[in-house]
Amino acid sequence: MGHWAVHEEDDFLRAVRTAPIIDNHAHPLLTRQATVAGKFPLLTVTTEAEGSALAVSTTSLAHIRAVKQLAGVLGCEATWSSVQAALESKRQEEVYEDWVKSCLSSIRIFLVDDSIGDEKNNGRTNSCFNKFGAESKRLVRIEHVAAKLINQACQEHVHPEAAFSSFVASLQDALTTDIADPMVAGFTSTICYQTGLGIPQNEDKDQAFTAFQKIYMERKRIEAELFSRLHHYGLTEYIVHCLASLISELDSPYAKPIQLHTSLVDNDITLTKASPSDLQSFIKQYPTVPIILLHSGYPFVREMGYLATVYANVYTDIGLVFPMVSRDGQEKAIRQILELCPSSKILWSTSGHYLPETYLLAVTQMRRALKDVLSEYVKKEDLTWMEAKDFVEDILFRNSNKLYHLGLDLNSPPAVWTPQSESTQAEPDKTEPDQEDGEQSEFESKSDQLISESESRWVQSDSDRPKSNVDGLAKLKSAGDCIQHVRLCWHDMTGTTRGRTIPIRRAMSILQSEPDFKFSVSTSALAVLQTDEMLPGVSPAGEWDLCADFKSLRVGPRKGLVTIMGDFREKDGSSVSLCPRTKLAETLRLASTHNLEFILGFEIEFVLLKRIGVRQFEMLDGDAHSWCSVGAADHDAAIAVEEAVGKLDEAGIYVETIHPESAFGQYEIVLPAAPALKAVDTLIFARQVLSACADAHGYKMTLHPKPYAKAAGTAAHVHMSISSPRGSDRDTWESFYAGILKHLRSVLAYTCASPVSYSRLVDGCWAGGTWVTWGRQNRETPLRKIEGSHWELKCMDGLANPYLAMAAIFSAGIDGVKSGQELLLDECIEDPATLTEEQRMELNITEKLPTTLEEALESLEKDAALREIVGKDSVERYIAVKKAEIKLLGTMDSSAQRQWIIERY
């Protein structure tokens, strides 16, 4: 074998081992708590069987092979009982996150069908991949969307005809929105499970209505359950046609694919109706709609390969056979696909679900199968080593990257295939059913040697710095060549964002040579006012480390800059209890012990003022400026807002809506929902972008809560949902929000954090009013219920430190859940200020919100339960800072106060 052949063989083996993966079809994981509780049997990692059929799966080749592979990774005996015990130890809180990260480590981005298992209440989390440091995009399951809209239409209309028309219109609107949503990669359909893949070429609206009418009549029965399972002939097919028609009507080269489940799933399907060949007429009808056939089509693999070969819009997915099928079956599936199908039409997925081990096994077995099959073709001279390498990279990365328009770079730092291959397990069982007899071939020996050498190089190169720095280096490189500076930030007790700026050359040097990306900052950083004066009695001696959290990295707010949020740490690496961002993270960890996780969505209200000189601003002219007016949206100032939204989009923050508010120059943008810590990081970054764009256009952006005495105030409303399994339980969310109401007077010290904040809290202005109460869709209550666990807190403005504010809000809710607090306040459906005292007493509305920051701080000082949860040291420091602020602002008249706040916020 010549020198170049050896080199090319090495390149192929390296690609097999390290090529980054786009998981084209995945499902969310269970929460750790649900995993520990056994919400989904561990045996299901290698089978779709259920019930009594599941118990006998332990004698299958797929199961026996998986036991040996898991044992090799876990370092235990290769028995099912030993593997179970070892995995139980991995479910412990202190090691679980690292275990999950290792199981997911080879995958660059997950495309997530996030509707699986809703009906089973399996405790999953939609945002689980983000939690473990991975990227993800959504795959919208259309039957799941349709079921929700059917329920809604049946509830809202008294005649089936009207309900059906409403459903069709809502479905088209929902799908159109998803088609335009950049976070939606594509769609999935489970029609295979419901009525089979024989979709008739002509959609029949009358037949769809007949099926809908049956559902409608069932829903109208007394005590009828919510409709959840779509398996109705005529209607199911109509819904799939509706989606395909909408996609085909778009005049765009970026059509989003439809994934169709086929064959290898649980016993819900009728196997004779699950062959991909049944889709032929449907495929022909929509030649511009990309169609992906999932799960290898197993056992109809050749049929799937044929369709992808002869139809330009059809693609194959060789997923789920890993690890559900034996080694021989996996290799045969790959060979049968390649009999006809071009490598450019093949995608790969884990179809991983519920348990992290499904991902680990899928990746491990897939890489081994590709190595064995493709090397066989090379030895038979059907392929060269470089052609085989291209096959690997096409299947695992390029094809999905192109089809889903992901814009990723194959050559950015690869993830390493860390789970041990079967050839590197210690002391393998020589009687393993799926291990070949005889000695290793020359190819296998070389493969194992290269894998070992490559692992050693990676271990050596990364051993001197933590994974966060490896991730940080990759993130900075992926940010682009135009980056010149890194800004490392913190948000202090006054609600001021501060930071250090590091030239990119220095930042890269630190990431490549230092154990952590951190900078020393004086411990007085959380004891200074906006004027940089330090609190009396606080020593300037001592330093903390400001440590970068690269998960927060965003490109911006200006050209050539990236922004990263940091956490303060003691020099020994321990957390600083006074750090606001750390305080929120600690509160979220406390919440998780009560099975509480949260999704937040912030609204940013702000006012643009025209700069007329140094520290001089004037109100914008009032040309047609009113709430949601198109005239205000066309004002010159709106250009700065739209530019900011574009920069946020480039940074991966996809604003949901923009509209003018009531005051002159006042606008609002609505940020996307996200897990709590990420949502707050995003809020702070988005404000920086808005401010930078306003400055660039000659405006000043301010978050002043009441910039004009007789105009609408400026808030920072936060939408909250409890995203963990218990969040949908009425008892849980009622106790949570009852806790917030119980402590709301104290919480206000954090959410309305400036003396000027209280000028906004007035009745009759949609500002949440002045009474401690709640109401469904009532904007005159500080706590507005929207639906289920989704509520909005209105008594919060842009001068609050959102890390501390959310920590206080969550702490109050946690106290409610811990104590089983009842929602003693009845729903208020009117403006509480317009009620008589007797009417308020009937609703148990007895407390008013504080009217000054002093009053709110006094309430916080007396609230022992909240102070205990938030942390006494943190509360005491916060109160000290706020009292100093009150004293500082007290030396100014109202005009000077207004000017002072506008300059700084």
Domain ranges of the chain: 21-407, 469-576, 599-708, 724-905
**DSSP label of 408:** -
pLDDT in tens, 674-687: 889 999 999 999 99
Tokens standing for residue 707: 């910039």
d(CA 741, CA 745): 8
Model pLDDT for residues 482-500, shown as the tens digit of each residue = 788 899 999 999 999 999 9
- Asked, colleague to colleague, whether 21-407 and 599-708 share their fold, the answer is no
Q: Is the pLDDT of residue 128 over 80?
A: no
Q: Once rounded to an integer, what is the mean pLDDT over residues 80-96? A: 88
d(CA 486, CA 628): 37
**Residue 308 CA: distances (Å) to CA of 201, 247, 290, 397:** 19, 19, 11, 18
Pairing of strands 554-555, 561-569: antiparallel
Whether residue 770 is predicted with pLDDT greater than 60 in this model: the reply is: yes
Residue-averaged pLDDT of the chain: 83
Longest CA pairwise span in the chain (Å): 95
> Count H helices, E strands: the chain?
34, 24
Q: Is the model's pLDDT at 325 over the cut of 60?
A: yes
Token pair 């402590």: residue: 743
Strand duo 657-660 + 518-522: pairing: unpaired
Rounded distance between C-alpha atoms, residue 576 and residue 564, angstroms = 18
pTM: 0.54
Phi, psi of 844 (to 5 degrees): 65, 25
Q: pLDDT higher for 889 or 627?
A: 889
CA-to-CA distance for 196 and 275, rounded, in angstroms? 9
Per residue in 555-569, pLDDT (tens digit) is 889 888 899 999 999
The CATH class of 599-708 is alpha beta
Q: Which numeric CATH code is attached to 469-576?
A: 3.10.20.70
Q: What strands, in cross-sheet order, belong to the sheet with 291-293? A: 21-26, 107-113, 135-141, 184-189, 258-260, 291-293, 314-317, 346-347
The answer on pLDDT for 443 being more than 70 is no
Task: Using a pLDDT cut of 90, give the percent of the chain over it.
Answer: 34
- Tell me the pLDDT tens digit for each residue of 502-554: 888 888 888 877 777 888 888 888 988 888 888 888 877 788 999 999 889 88
Q: Determine the average pLDDT of the residues in 878-886.
A: 92
DSSP 326-367: -HHHHHHHHHHHHTT--GGGEE------BSTHHHHHHHHHHH
Task: Indicate the pLDDT class of residue 444, thresholds 50, 70 and 90.
Answer: very low
CA distance 734 to 727: 10
User: Cα(407)–Cα(108) distance, rounded to whole angstroms?
Assistant: 12
CATH no. for 724-905: 3.30.590.10
The fold of the 21-407 domain, in CATH, is TIM Barrel (3.20.20)
The pLDDT of residue 119: 38
- In tens, the pLDDT along 697-735 reads 888 889 888 887 777 778 889 999 888 777 778 888 889
**What is the DSSP code string of 182-222?**
TTEEEEEE-HHHHT-S---SS--HHHHHHHHHHHHHHHTST
Torsional class of 294: left (φ above 0), alpha (ψ -120 to 50), beta (otherwise): beta
Angle of CA points 164, 166, 167, to nearest 5°: 65
Instruction: Please answer whether residues 827 and 776 qualify as being in contact, where contact means their C-beta atoms are separated by less than 8 angstroms.
Output: yes
Tokens of 344: 């450019």
CB-CB neighbours of 89 under 10 Å: 12
Report whether pLDDT(125) > 70.
no
Distances (CA, A) of 334 to 15, 48, 329, 391, 624: 17, 20, 9, 12, 64
Q: Which 8-state DSSP code applies to residue 398?
A: I
Helical residues (DSSP H) of 52-92, grouped into ranges: 52-55, 61-74, 80-90
Cα–Cα distances (Å) from 390 to 317, 408, 835, in that order, read 17, 17, 73
- Kindly indicate the confidence band of residue 4, based on its pLDDT and cuts at 50, 70 and 90: very low
Q: Which two tokens stand for residue 529?
A: 């006012």
Give the pLDDT of residue 235: 92
